[in-house]
Structure 1
Amino acid sequence: MADAYSRDLERWIPRLIAVWRQARRKGDGPETRLTPQEIKEVGAGVKQLSHGLTRERQLAGAKYMDDPRLLGAYLLFYWPVSYAQARQALGELPNRPRQVLDLGSGPGPLAFAALDAGAAEVTAADRSKPALTLARALAAEAGEALATREWDPTRKAAPPEGQFDLITMGHVLNELYGTGDGVTAPRAALLEQLLTQVKKNGSLLVMEPALRETSRALLKVRDVLVGKGYGVRAPCMFRGNCPALLKESDWCHAERSWPMPRVVEELARAAGLHKESLKMSYLVVAPKGEAWPELPRGRLFRIVSEPLEGKGRQRYIGCGPEGRVGLAMQDKHRTEKNERFFKLHRGDVIAVTETEPKGDGFALDDRSEVRIVAQAGRGVPPPSPEEEPRPTAPTPQGSDPLP
C-alpha cells in the first residue's frame, strides 16, 4: 500500500520546504532538504509539539498553530505523517469521494491526501488563519484547487454548508470538549451532526492519535454511534460494543509501514522521536440508515496486534464478527495452506478454518487454512456474485464477544 502513494508524498516534500521558507522570509537551502541549522531549529519545535500533544497534553485544544514556530514544525514533520495516515485510511473507502470537507484541517494534509487520491473538490476548514494561509500557499505551489473556510468548533460554529461524499477529521476530535468522562456525548453529537452532511454511500473518516487515552476515547464515541444505529465501514467488523473497552488496559490502534521521507527522519532524530511506522486510531462511519458492509463468507478476523511470538508458536489478537480473540498456531503445524499466518501484519483481514477454542481464543493446527481477505490499508471486499453474504444479524449490545 505504501508504494501507491510514496511518489506523491515525495513530491510534497520540496513544496512543504518552499512554503515554510517563504513564510519565514529568510534563509535559502537545498530544495529537498533542510540545512543543519534548520533541522536544529525545527527539531526543537517538533519536540515541543510532541511533548505537548502526547505526554502532558497541555497543547491539546490550544491554538498552537497560531505560533509560527510550532506551525512550521507541524508542517515539516507532522504534515507528512498525517498525509500518509490519511492515504492509508482512504484506501479502505468503498467509493472514491468527489466532494470532500476536511474539518480541523490545519495546513491541509488530509485535504491534499484526498485530492491526490482522486477527489475533485476539497474544502479545508480550520480556526487557525495562519494554518489556512499555509494550506492556500501549498495549493498554489502544487497547482491544486483548494477552497478554505474558517471553522471554530470551540465557539459552536456550524461546519461549512453542503453535502459531501467524505468528511474528514484528522487528530481533531481528541482536542475538543476537554478531558474526562463527559466528553463522549458532545463528541458523538458533533459526529452525528456531520453525518447529516454525508451523502448516500459516503463516509465520515475520523483519525486520532494511537495513544491509549485518545484511542479508547474514540472507541467510546464509536459505541455511542453504533448504539444509535450507525454502521461502521472500517476497521470494525464486530457490531456490538467494542470489546477492546472491556479491560482498562486494552485499546485498539492501527500500525502501518510507510515510505518515511528523509526530512521526517532527520527531524525525528533531532527531536529524539521514532517514526519508523505509522500509528493511529481511525473510524470510518456510514451515514444514518445505511447498513454495515456485507462481508464475504468465512470466519473473518482483523489482526489488531503485532506478532506475539512465543516459544515454538505464533500468536496474534484478532477482532471480527464474533469479537476480539487470541489466535495462535504452533510452528509444527505450519503447512502450505496456513503459511500466511506466520507473516501477518496488523490491519490484515484473514479468513480461517478448523479452529479449536483455547484460552482466550482459538488454536489453529495443520488442518487449518489461512487466507488473506484484505491487506492492511485496503477495504474488505464484498461477497462475490457466486457466494451469499455471511449472516448479518446484529450482536446484542454489551454482549460478551468471547467464546
Structure 2
Amino acid sequence: MSEAYSRDLERWIPRLIAVWRQARRKGDGPETRLTPQEVKEVGAGVKQLSLGLTRERQLAGAKYMDDPRLLGAYLLFYWPVSYAQARQALGELPNRPRQVLDLGSGPGPLAFAAMDAGAKEVTAADRSKPALALARALATEAGEALATREWDPTRKAPLPEGAYDLITMGHVLNELYGTGDGAIAPRAALLEQVLAQVKKGGSLLVLEPALRETSRALLKVRDVLVGKGYAVRAPCLFRGNCPALVKESDWCHAERPWPMPRVVEELARAAGLHKESLKMSYLMLAPAGEPWPEPTPGRLFRIVSESLEGKGRQRYIGCGPEGRLGLALQEKHRTEKNERFFKLQRGDVLSVTETEPKGDGLALDDRTEVRVVAPAGKGVPPPPAKDTP
C-alpha cells in the first residue's frame, strides 16, 4: 500500500475512534488508540464478525450492522481494511471520478476512500440506519459533505436516482441472494441495473472477500456479464470466460503489502486473526457499449499467484490475453534484462519476450526481457498515441 494511502488512512483512525466512543456514550481514552479494555471488548466483536462472515458465514446477509456491538467492531477493524482495499483498487481507475455512489456502504469506508481519491459528490446508500448514522457522524468529524440514502436490495428497492462516474459495492454482492450457483444470475442482474446508472467512461467497482467461495462466485458473475458484452477494466486482461474457473481448486484474488494501523493490529491480535496483508477479490466493469481497454503493446501477463519459488528457479502463474499460464525462469538464465522477474508481486502486469512453451506454461531464459508495465494497484497504460499525418 502506498505511503500516501497509508497517511490518508491514519488520519481516519482518530475519527473512527471518536465516533465510536460518541455512539456508545461512555468512556474516554487516547485519541489515536484504544484502551486495553476497549481492545478486549471490540476484539470479541471482531472475532464474531470474522467467524460469521468468513468462516461459518451465518452472518452473511444478516442485519449485523444493526447490532451496536458488531457495528462498532466493523467500524474499528473492517472499516480501515475496506478503506485500504478500496484505495488500492481505485488506483486502477482510468479517470478520476467526480460523482460517486457507494451501494451497501455500511458506515462508508468506500465512500470516504472515493473522497480521498478526489471525488467531489459522494452518496452512501445502505439498508442499515445505524450504519448510515455513523457514516454521517464520520463526515461531520472530518468536515466533509456526504449524502446518505436508504437502499435495501433484499426488498428489490430501486437504486438511488442519478448517473455516476463511479459506483462502488464493497463486500456486498456475496451477501445477496443466498449461496451456490443459484445466486449468480440475480447478482449479475443486479450489477446490470447498477451499470445502467454509470456514466460513459465511468466504472462499477465490486470488492469481495478473497475466500475461494466468494472469489469464484464473483468470477462466475463476471462471465455472465462478459457473455452479454460488458467489458472489464480491471484486473482482467483475458476477454473470454475466466480461466481460473476451469479447475475447482483455483480462484483469483489480489494481495497487497499493508502496514496495518495500530488499532487494527491490536484488534486482530485480540480476535486471534492473522492479517499481514490486504487480500481481496475485485472487478472493475465498464458500462454497456464500451469496449475493452486496449493495453500497451507487448506480450502481457498479470501475476495472479504468490511466488512459487523452487530449487534453482522462480515461477508464478500469469493471466493475460492468451489465458492463464505458468511462467518460469531458472536462476542460471538470470540476466540484467530479466532480473525483474525475481522480484514480482501478485497483481503486477509484466511484458515478456522470447519464451518457449513448456508443460502448462512458458519457460523464460537468458534471451527474455521482462518489463513491469503496471505495478500492482496501478492501471495498465494504453497504447502510445499514433502520430497523425
Give the TM-score band, short-chain normalised: over 0.9
Shift of 1:20: 0.2
1:241 matched residue in structure 2? 241
Q: Does 1:144 align with 2:144?
A: yes
1:131 counterpart letter in structure 2: A
The Cα shift of 1:275 comes to 1.5
Equivalent residue for 1:352? 352
Aligned partner of 1:103 in structure 2 is: 103
Query: 1:89 & 1:180 partners in 2: Cα distance?
Result: 26
TM normalised by structure 2 equals: 0.99
Secondary structure, aligned partner of 1:302: strand
Question: Which residue is 1:114 aligned to?
Answer: 114
Quote how far apart the aligned CAs of 1:307 are.
0.2
Task: Give distance in 2, aligned partners of 1:292 and 1:386.
Answer: 19
User: What does the per-residue CA deviation read over 1:344-379, in whole Å, with 9 as the maximum and x for residues that have no partner?
Assistant: 000000000000000110000000000000000000
Distance 1:275 1:164 in 2: 33
Distance in 2 (alpha carbons) for counterparts of 1:25 and 1:190 = 38
Q: Matched residues in 1 for 2:64 and 2:359: separation?
A: 47
How far, CA to CA, are the matches of 1:158 and 1:167 in structure 2? 15
CA distance in 2, matches of 1:17, 1:286: 36
Which amino acid is the alignment partner of residue 268 of structure 1?
A: A
> How far does residue 385 in structure 1 lie from its aligned partner after superposition?
2.0
> What corresponds to 1:265 in structure 2?
265
Write out aligned runs for 1:320-335 (5 A): 320-335=320-335
Counterparts of 1:55 and 1:387, CA distance in 2: 55
Q: Spell out, residue by residue over 1:41-81, the C-alpha distance to the aligned partner (whole angstroms, 9 max, x if none).
A: 00000000000001110000000000000000000000000
1:337 is aligned to: 337
Secondary structure at 1:307 match in 2: coil
CA distance in 2, matches of 1:171, 1:309: 32
Structure 1 residues 164 and 349, CA, compared in 2 at 3 Å: closer, same or farther? same
Q: Deviations over 1:3-37 (max 9, x none)?
A: 12111100000000000000010000000010000
Q: Which letter maps to 2:66?
A: D
> Does the 8 A contact of 1:76 with 1:263 survive in 2?
yes
Aligned equivalents of 2:133, 2:311: Cα separation in 1 = 55
Matched, 1:376 2:376: yes
Tell me the equivalent position of 2:305: 305
Q: Secondary structure at the match of 1:149?
A: strand
SS in 2 for 1:229: coil
Q: Which structure 2 residue ranges, 5 or more long, are not aligned?
A: none
In 1: Cα distance, 2:88 partner to 2:152 partner: 27
- Corresponding residue number in structure 2 for 1:166: 166
| Cα deviation, residue 274, structure 1 | 1.4
What is the SS of the residue equivalent to 2:373? strand
Q: Which residue number corresponds to residue 83 of structure 2?
A: 83
Q: Which residue of 2 aligns with 1:175?
A: 175
Aligned to 1:223: 223
The residue matched to 2:101 in structure 1 has which SS?
strand
AA aligned to 1:135 is: A
For 2:210, the equivalent position in structure 1 comes to 210
| Partners of 1:251 and 1:11 in 2: CA distance | 34
* Helix, strand or coil at the partner of 2:314: strand
| Aligned residue identity for 2:312 | G
Question: Per the alignment, in what secondary structure is the counterpart of residue 357 of structure 2?
Answer: strand
Q: RMSD of the alignment, in Å?
A: 0.9
Instruction: Determine the C-alpha separation between the residues in 1 that align with 2:134 and 2:378.
Output: 31
User: Structure 1: which 5+ residue stretches go unaligned?
Assistant: 389-403
Give a deviation string over 1:282-336, Cα, whole Å, max 9, x none. Answer: 0000000000001111100000000001000000000000000000000111100
Q: Residue 387 of structure 1: CA displacement?
A: 8.8
8 Å CA contact 1:2, 1:257 repeated in 2: no
Structure 2: distance between partners of 1:26 and 1:81:
25
Query: How far apart, CA to CA, are the structure 2 residues paired with 1:64 and 1:182?
Result: 24
Distance of 1:19 and 1:4 partners within structure 2: 24
C-alpha displacement at 1:276, in angstroms? Answer: 1.1
| Aligned partner letter, 2:114 | A
Q: Is 1:198 matched up with 2:202?
A: no
Q: Secondary structure of the residue that 1:169 maps to in structure 2?
A: strand
TM-score normalized with structure 1 length: 0.95
Distance verdict in 2 for CA 1:387–1:71, change over 3 Å: farther
